[in-house]
Chains A and B, each alone.
Chain A
Amino acid sequence: MKRALALYAACAYAFLHAPLLILAVFSVNASRFTIWQGLSLHWYRAAFADVQLTSAAANSLLIAVIATLLSTVIGTLCAYGLWKRGSTWLAGSLYLSLVTPEIVTGVSLLAFFQWSFRYLHMQLGLHTVILAHVAFSIAYVVVVVIARLRMFDPTLEEAALDLGATEWQAFGRVTLPSIFPGVAAAALLAFTVSFDDYVITSLVAGVDSQTLPMVIYAMARRGISPEVNAISTLIVVGLGALILVSERLREA
């Protein structure tokens, strides 16, 4: 039976990884058709030359960095607060945000922003995207950081208080350094989730702001465009590396 399982596993892993590997292979295909015509970095060069792509990528990066910073800080504080003294309604609403389908989160945020714009005289743009990303990333950060906090020994905080540190100092000098790998892992996770988001972003971005997923989506819908292969491969490698680091940190 072991052999049957191993054979099956090999097929399953092939199924899981083949599509991306094929994409990567064809991203260096000289031809724009799916016939192999030799190695070429042409599509990568074309991708970097495409202004629409690069400006969208810059937007995505900017949004992801700001959203990650905000959601990591807010989420870590929240996780610590929940760990010390629970709050059913806050934990409940975070759980709700995790189970709500993306499309519902997206349209509800769109409705909220449009409603608030009646009083605030604003438009949809990068700032609404950032707010939306922070909103849905917090739950992920809390889950990761709380898991790390559960491994932390609470008597260390008592010892710090006993030795003369205030509650803030105990958190900053003893607890935070201890859980830092978890916080870093959460940040990387939040970055990945934000960078890759399409559904929610497309609804709240408005006309002038384009993110990388939005551009890729439009190109994918239009048909054959080998530049998409190139960018896709770059994204997979980039985010993959981030996730690997995040996993290492989680286990540290």
Chain B
Amino acid sequence: MDAILELCDISKDYPNQKALDRVSLAIPRGAFFSLLGPSGCGKTTTLRLVAGFEQPTSGEVRLNGSTINHLKPYQRNVSTVFQNYALFPHLSVQDNIEFGLRRRGGANIAARVGQMLDLLKLTGKERRRPSEISGGERQRVALARSLVLAPDVLLLDEPLSALDPDLRKQVRAELKSIQRRVGVTFLFVTHDQEEALSLSDQIAVMNRGQVEQIGMPEEIYLHPRTRFVASFLGRMNWIDGAGVRPEALRISREAAGNGLCCHPATVMGSVFLGNCVHVEARLASGETLVAEVPRLDARFATGEQVHICWRPSDEMRFPGEPP
């Protein structure tokens, strides 16, 4: 793999906690790579280490094969899109986008800015101030400002969290298409697993300063290596130390055969979610399961006696981990 960015055994200690504990990552050139995890897991710290705003306590950051630990933020060829966009309020959209280019000097500034304005559909808004454009437009300006510098890696710190939920889905798709078109490596930080799954070529799931698993979205979802990864991506039912996804559970009124694992259960209630129904049922052993049932299937009333079945191959077990 042609890794454009490598984190080699990075640790970051703070006086009262260890923010990162021997993190190693290799981000392939041109990939949309996500760091996924709950708040406090160290994903933002990782981003800031790559950008140069913090120094690792130990370990190396390598860009294109050379170590960049000692380089200041303005000496590194990476660029950050901040969570609050950090657009300069006293400069116009055009001046904001030009900012980095002007620091470098060089020719063709106007042309390159024009290209970027086109790509991000901001033409016509050049003269406006950040306070005069919408949230979605501000995000595009932040992107343009960083992309126009042709960085080796673009760092994005939860860029969609400040947007309205309906806008988020639309912007997500745009972000993916921009990345494909421009070809820049994206290092994307988020706590939203749906975002990570839908956008990424590869995901690194982080928890408490450590990387729990790296892989493609399908692999991580279907074959999680730890309990944490399993529970963090989508819901999990735990029965007898094994985990089963809600959509892998089948509910029927009769017991089924042909190699399926079946248990009798009592329906506790159902929640209608539009395209599917979540049915909550309790086993004789006392454990409660949630099964995801397509809307068009049979309905189950509270108190009904049913059978919950699943294929043994859908079970996920994590030997060596406490239940």
Contact = CB atoms under 8 A, between A and B. Distances in A.
B90 A163 contact: no
A158 B90 contact: no
Interface stretch (A118-126, A164-172, A183-191): A164-172
Contact of A164 (B84, B88, B149): B149
A173 B84 CA distance: 20
A159 B145 CA distance: 10
B30 interface: no
A240 interface: no
Contacts of B149: 163-164
A162 interface: yes
A163 B82 contact: no
Contact of A162 (B79, B84, B104): B79
A175 to B, nearest CB: 10
B88 A166 contact: no
B202 interface: no
A163 B89 contact: no
Contact of B73 (A161, A173, A177): A161
Chain A interface main SS type: helix
Interface residues of B toward A: which range? 20 to 34
Nearest to A158: B53
Interface string A135-162: 0000000000000000001011011111
B177 to A, nearest CB: 24
A203 interface: no
Nearest to B85: A159
A98 interface: no
Contact of A158 (B73, B100, B103, B104): B73
Contacts of B90: 177-178
B86 interface: yes
Nearest to B86: A159
Given A158-B53, A178-B89, A163 B145 contact: yes
B88 A169 contact: no
Contact of B74 (A153, A155, A156, A161): A161
Interface in B56-105: 72-74, 79-80, 82, 84, 86-90, 99-100, 103-104
Contacts of B87: 159
B88 A159 contact: yes
Interface in A198-230: none
A178 B91 CA distance: 10
A174 interface: yes
B103 A164 contact: yes
A163 B155 CA distance: 12
A161 B72 contact: yes
A162 B88 contact: no
Nearest to B97: A163
B72 A163 contact: no
Among B52, B74, B100, B146, residue most surrounded by chain A Cβ atoms (within 10 Å): B74
B189 interface: no
Interface in B119-172: 145-146, 149
Interface string B278-306: 00000000000000000000000000000
5 contacts: A155-B86, A159-B82, A162-B52, A162-B80, A164-B149
Given A163-B99, A163-B100, 15 more contacts: A155-B84, A155-B86, A158-B86, A160-B88, A161-B52, A161-B53, A161-B72, A161-B74, A162-B73, A162-B79, A162-B80, A164-B74, A166-B72, A177-B90, A178-B89
Please provide the 4 A-B residue pairs with the shortest distance between their CB atoms, ordered closest to farther.
A163-B100, A159-B86, A164-B103, A161-B73
